[in-house]
Amino acid sequence: MFIPEANEFSVPFDQSFKIAGANTLPKGKFDSDKLKKTLAGYSKTMGELQRKLYAHDKHSLLLIFQAMDAAGKDGTIRAVMSGINPAGCQVYSFKQPSSQELDHDFLWRSATRLPERGRIGIFNRSYYEEVLVVRVHPEYLESQKLPECFDPDSIWEERFESICDHEKHLARNGTVVLKFWLNVSKDEQKKRFLSRLDNPEKNWKFSISDIKERGHWDRYMESYEDLLNKTSKPWAPWHAIPADNKKWMRVQVAKIITETLQSLEIDYPTVSEKEKMQFGEMRRQLNNE
């Protein structure tokens, strides 16, 4: 089983992570133009590595993005993956479950959208909503057709266990799982919401429900802290990325993805000597057409 290397943003596996002590802004100074060039470099390298991933055909990469509203998930996915061949990448956004999805367990709908070997799959939100928004709004459990014997006091721990087992199964079978929590501050979210209201071109991004959910901020932070601690594992680590500066945040995400792909030691398949011996005859046939 491949284990991604830890870095400065990795959520510890000893359940010691505290959101109150996590940065939402980068440390030190940075140059905006340099960040742009750095991101472009990572994107180009990622594109080259994705082609090798596809040709190697033994691993897939699953990227999971979770965050509060206006943290920058969509823009980060767009910017970071700009150098990837669209044919080698697939993005899914999980919203309110459909009636068909509610007829299955909570992991079913995401399991049907996992990336094939050789491809990069991206979940913009994911099954982690089932221990986030559903935990903040437990009344949503009423529509999930759970057995009468389910215990509302233990369901979250049981779902953490199911998630960890699921991700370990994926890792054992060649899927590399990287999870990113984009840690935006409440003040920065407020600024971005006001920007959406003030700019006509951004009005479409704003929803009344955004303000409603903002009212549950503290409860969401409690739920995030619990899930980050309970589900950050060596085979599927969480990364808490400061998100108050979008350009800097995107570089950090791209860096982690790039370095993880590089550590896989994937390469193009080699051609056997027997096949190489046939190249001469094939070349002659083509030239004689």
| Residue among 30, 53, 34, 54 nearest 42 (CA) | 34
CB 1: neighbour CB atoms within 10 A?
11
Q: Average pLDDT over the chain, rounded to whole?
A: 94
Q: With respect to residue 100, please indicate whether it lies within any of the assigned structural domains.
A: yes
Domains in the chain, number: 1
- Better pLDDT: 198 or 68: 68
What is the DSSP secondary structure assignment for residue 75, as one 8-state letter?
H
Q: With respect to residue 13, please indicate whether it lies within any of the assigned structural domains.
A: no
In the predicted structure, residue 272 carries a pLDDT above the cut 90: no
Q: With respect to residue 87, please indicate whether it lies within any of the assigned structural domains.
A: yes
Report d(CA 184, CA 35) in Å as an integer: 19
Q: What is residue 166's predicted lDDT score, i.e. its pLDDT? A: 98
Q: With respect to residue 161, please indicate whether it lies within any of the assigned structural domains.
A: yes
Which has the minimum average pLDDT: 34-43, 206-215, 231-240? 206-215
Q: With respect to residue 9, please indicate whether it lies within any of the assigned structural domains.
A: no
Report d(CA 265, CA 131) in Å as an integer: 34
Which has the minimum average pLDDT: 28-42, 83-97, 152-166, 271-285? 271-285
Residue 250 near residue 80 (C-beta atoms within 8 A): yes
In the predicted structure, residue 271 carries a pLDDT above the cut 90: no
Residue range(s) defining the domain that contains residue 253: 19-287
CB 165: neighbour CB atoms within 10 A?
11
pLDDT tens, residue by residue, 196-234: 998 888 888 878 888 999 999 999 999 999 999 999 999
Q: With respect to residue 208, please indicate whether it lies within any of the assigned structural domains.
A: yes
Could you tell me the CATH number of the domain that includes residue 251? 3.40.50.300
Which of the four pLDDT bands, split at 50, 70 and 90, describes residue 280?
Answer: confident
Report d(CA 181, CA 228) in Å as an integer: 9
Residue 49 near residue 61 (C-beta atoms within 8 A): no
Q: With respect to residue 236, please indicate whether it lies within any of the assigned structural domains.
A: yes
String of b and e for 236-274 (b: at least 16 CB within 10 Å)?
bbbbbbbbbbbbbbbbbbbbbbbebbeebebeeeeeeee
- Better pLDDT: 210 or 239: 239
